[in-house]
Amino acid sequence: MEKRINYYTPELTEYSIINFSIIGKALCVATYFDKICKNFLLALVIKYPQYFKEKFKEFNNINLNSDELYSQIMKIADKINLDRCIKILSKINTENDKFIGFFGRFDKAREARNFIAHDLCLGYPENINKANFRAELAREIKENTSEIVNCLVLMEDLILSFNKEGMLPGIDKSSLVENIVSWVLDDEI
């Protein structure tokens, strides 16, 4: 049976609107994780270009004496995907005993991000309007979003340490994770 484009554009119902809202919020969290990791790596490269030139092949050809150093770094950083970004951050991590094991969880968060970005909606056009679809969707999104948000909290700690700042007082990390995941799964329209 040939599938046409209208097969992939489900009827807008209460179920589909809520489900698409939940999927969209999960995708926002996943995209934010990707961006934060890459921006942190970029900040490190800008601050320590010599270190990155010596340690990582991507940066071997940067000219440290060039007026275009920042542009060179930006051009290279734009080409680094999340997987490579986490591998680079993990290698740096092994040289800094304060954060040993810190990035081990980031690979799981990367897999969760990839699931949300690439696999979550596979096979769902025909199910998006079904009430029983919501339970499976909520389970998958809760599991994967929790993994990502926990790593976002860890990244916050790393950024604060990098900037020589302390954690903001009165912030309960587990409540923060729970609140963000609850927001993603909120099905009020």
For 46-69, what is each residue's pLDDT tens digit?
999 999 999 999 999 999 999 999
Instruction: Taking the CA atoms of 182, 184, 186 and 187 in sequence, report the sign of the dihedral they define.
Output: negative
Phi, psi of 125 (to 5 degrees): -55, -40
Q: Is pTM beyond 0.95 here?
A: no
List the single range of 77-86, 155-164, 175-184 with lowest mean pLDDT: 155-164
pLDDT of 159 over the 60 cut? yes
Residue 73 has what pLDDT? 92
Q: What integer is the mean pLDDT of 128-133?
A: 74
Tokens of 133: 């679809």
Residue 13 has what pLDDT? 78
The closest alpha carbon to 133, from 29, 13, 28, belongs to 13
Distance between CA atoms of residues 87 and 185, nearest Å:
30
pLDDT of 98 over the 60 cut? no
Q: Where are the domains of the chain?
A: 12-185
